[in-house]
Amino acid sequence: MFLVFTDRLEALGAWFDQTGWQKLQKLCLVMITCLIILWAMSLVGKAVNRSLGAALKEGNPDAVRRAKTLGSVLENFARVLVVSFFILETLQEFNVSVGPLIAGVGIMGAALGFGSQSIVKDVIGGFFLLVENQFGVGDIISIGDKHIGTVERMTLRVTMLRDVEGQAHYIPNGTISDLVVMSKVFAKALVEVEVSLDEDVVRVMAVLRELGVAMAAELDTVLEPTEVPGIVSMTPHSCVIRTLTKCAPGQQWAVGREYRLRIAVRFQKEGFSRPMPQRLVWNRHWEAPH
C-alpha cells in the first residue's frame, strides 16, 4: 500500500511539473481577482457608510434609508459577481470550454424567459423602485390591504417587510401596487375626539390646542403644534373634533398614543363628560271613547 501511495505522489509531482504549477498560478490569480472585486465592493460599501454617517449628522432620514438600500443591493450583487467569475475561470483552467456553456445558458435563459416572465418583471420593477427612490430600507410602507410593515431588506427581485407582530413578508417587486409610504419626510398623527354636545365645544377645542402646543415643546418627534381644523361629524348626542399633529416620519403612531393619553388626563381634570347615547320616549295616555 505504501508503494501505491508513493506512485500516486510521483504521478502528482509529474503532473505539477508539466502543467500543474501553471494551473495553480492561474487559479491563484483568479482568487486574487475575486479578492480585488470584493475589496472594490467594500470600498463602495465604505463610501455608502460615509454618506450614511453624513446623513445621520445632517439629520436627513431619507438619505439614510437610501444609503442602506443601495448598500444591501450592492452586497448581493458583489456575491453573485464573484461566485460567477470564480466558477467560470476555474472551469476554463481545467480545460472546460465555457463558450458553449455560456451559449447553452443563454439559450436556456431564453427558453425559461417565456415561462419566467414574472422574474424579469420583478427585476425590472426593483430597478425602477431603486432609481425612482420610492422607498428604502427603514421605511414604513403599505402594499395593498395585506402588507404593512417596515422594510428590512430589498433586492432587485423581492422586498422584505416586518410587520408589528414580527412576521416577515416577502413581496416580489413586480407585484407591488397601491403603494403607500408612511415615513416620507414627515407624517401626521390623526386623532379624532368625540365630545358631548352638552359641553362647551369651543372650550374643548382650545384645550386640544393647548395640549398640542405643550407636546410640541416637550417632544422632539413633534415638528409643529397640533392643528384643530374643527368638527368633522355630528350625531344627536355628540360631535367629533379632528386633530392633526405634524411629526417625524414613522412617529405618527407613538405621537398619537401620547396625545390621546394627555387628552384623557386633561379631560378628567376639566370635568368634561363623556358623550352618552340619549333616547327620547313619549308616553302618551289614550282613553277609549265611551
The string of pLDDT tens digits covering residues 66-90 is: 666 666 666 666 666 666 666 666 6
Q: Where in the chain is the domain with CATH 2.30.30.60?
A: 129-181
pLDDT at site 120: 73
pLDDT at site 177: 83
Is the model more confident about 262 or about 146?
A: 262
Residues 136-158 have a mean pLDDT of 86
Tell me what percent of the residues of the chain surpass a pLDDT of 90. Answer: 27
pLDDT at site 215: 94
pLDDT at site 245: 95
Q: How far apart are the first and last CA of the chain?
A: 132
pLDDT of residue 178 exceeding 70: yes
Output the 3-class SS for 98-112. HHHHHHHHHHHHHHH
Q: Where in the chain is the domain with CATH 3.30.70.100?
A: 187-270
Domain 187-270 has CATH 3.30.70.100: yes
pLDDT at site 86: 67
Q: How far apart are the C-alpha atoms of 115 and 130, rounded to whole Å?
A: 26
Residues 229-241 have a mean pLDDT of 90
Average pLDDT score, the chain: 76
pLDDT at site 209: 94
User: pLDDT tens-digit profile of 263-281?
Assistant: 999 999 988 887 777 676 7
**Gyration radius from the chain CA atoms:** 33
Residues 202-207 have a mean pLDDT of 93
pLDDT at site 144: 82
Output the 3-class SS for the chain. CHHHHHHHHHHHHHHHHHHHHHHHHHHHHHHHHHHHHHHHHHHHHHHHHHHHHHHHHHCCHHHHHHHHHHHHHHHHHHHHHHHHHHHHHHHHHCCCCHHHHHHHHHHHHHHHHHHCHHHHHHHHHHHHHHHHCCCCCCCEEEECCCEEEEEEEECCCEEEEECCCCCEEEEEHHHCCCEEECCCCCEEEEEEEEEECCCCHHHHHHHHHHHHHHHHHHCCCECCCCEEEEEEEECCCEEEEEEEEEECCCCHHHHHHHHHHHHHHHHHHHCCCCCCCCCCCCCCCCCCCC
Residue type, 85: F
Residues in contact with 8: Cβ distance below 8 Å, sequence separation at least 6, in sequence order: none
Q: Which residues pair with 188 in a beta bridge?
A: 246
Q: How far apart are the C-alpha atoms of 179 and 252, rounded to whole Å?
A: 18
- All 3 cell numbers of residue 252? 405618527
pLDDT at site 38: 66
Q: Which residues pair with 242 in a beta bridge?
A: 192, 230
Q: Is the pTM of this model over 0.75?
A: no
pLDDT of residue 21 exceeding 60: no
Residues 197-219 have a mean pLDDT of 92
pLDDT of residue 232 exceeding 80: yes
For the domain made up of 129-181, give the CATH fold.
SH3 type barrels. (2.30.30)
Q: Which residues pair with 162 in a beta bridge?
A: 150, 168
pLDDT at site 275: 79
Q: How far apart are the C-alpha atoms of 226 and 262, rounded to whole Å?
A: 13
pLDDT at site 227: 94
**Cβ pair 255, 221 in contact under 8 A:** yes
Angle, helices 117-132/61-93, rounded to nearest 10 degrees: 140
Residues 102-115 have a mean pLDDT of 55
